[in-house]
Amino acid sequence: MLARRINLKITTNYLKAVNYVTKPPKPEIPKNPLADVYSASNQQTNGVIYDKKPFKIMLEAGKTYSWCLCGRSKSQPMCDGTHRDVFLKVTQRPIRFQVEKTKEYWLCNCKQTKNRPFCDGAHKQKEIQEAFVRV
C-alpha cells in the first residue's frame, strides 16, 4: 500500500514537473475593433440559424469585412446583400469588422454569438443544436 502511495506521488510529481496538461487551453476569442464605430454592432436581435457550427476562414489584418447577421446570405459567413430584399422583411444589418492579425479565424454561423462576428461557443447550446435549420 505504501509502495503504491509512493508510486502515485512520484507519478503526480513527474506530471507536474513536465507541465503535463490534460485539457488544451481555451482559444482566445478575438474582438472586433470596429464594434464601437458602426451602430449595427449594437443590434438587439439575432438572425436565423444558418448552421450549427462555426466556419474557419483566413482573414487579412486591416481589411474590412461584412459578416452576415440575418443568416440568409448565400455566401456565408459574409453578407451578400440578401437582407435588402424587401419581401424577406429582414430587420438585421450586416456587422462590419476587422481583425488585428492575418490568420485563420472561426466566424459564427449560428448567428447567436454574443461576440459578433466571432464564434463564442453559443452554438453548443441545446436549443441551437436542436433547432430546425432550413436548407
> Is 29 among the residues that bind ligand FES (CB under 6 A)?
no
> Is 80 among the residues that bind ligand FES (CB under 6 A)?
no
Among 19-27, 31-39, 67-75, 118-126, which window interacts with ligand FES (CB under 6 A)?
118-126
- Each residue of 49-87: b (16+ CB within 10 Å) or e? bbeeebbeeebeeeeebbbbbbbbbeebbebeebbeeee
Distance CA 110, CA 52 (A): 5
Question: Which residues ranging from 45 to 64 are in contact with ligand FES (CB under 6 A)?
Answer: 53-54
Give how many residues touch ligand FES by CB under 6 A. Answer: 12
Question: Which residues ranging from 98 to 117 are in contact with ligand FES (CB under 6 A)?
Answer: 108-110, 112-113
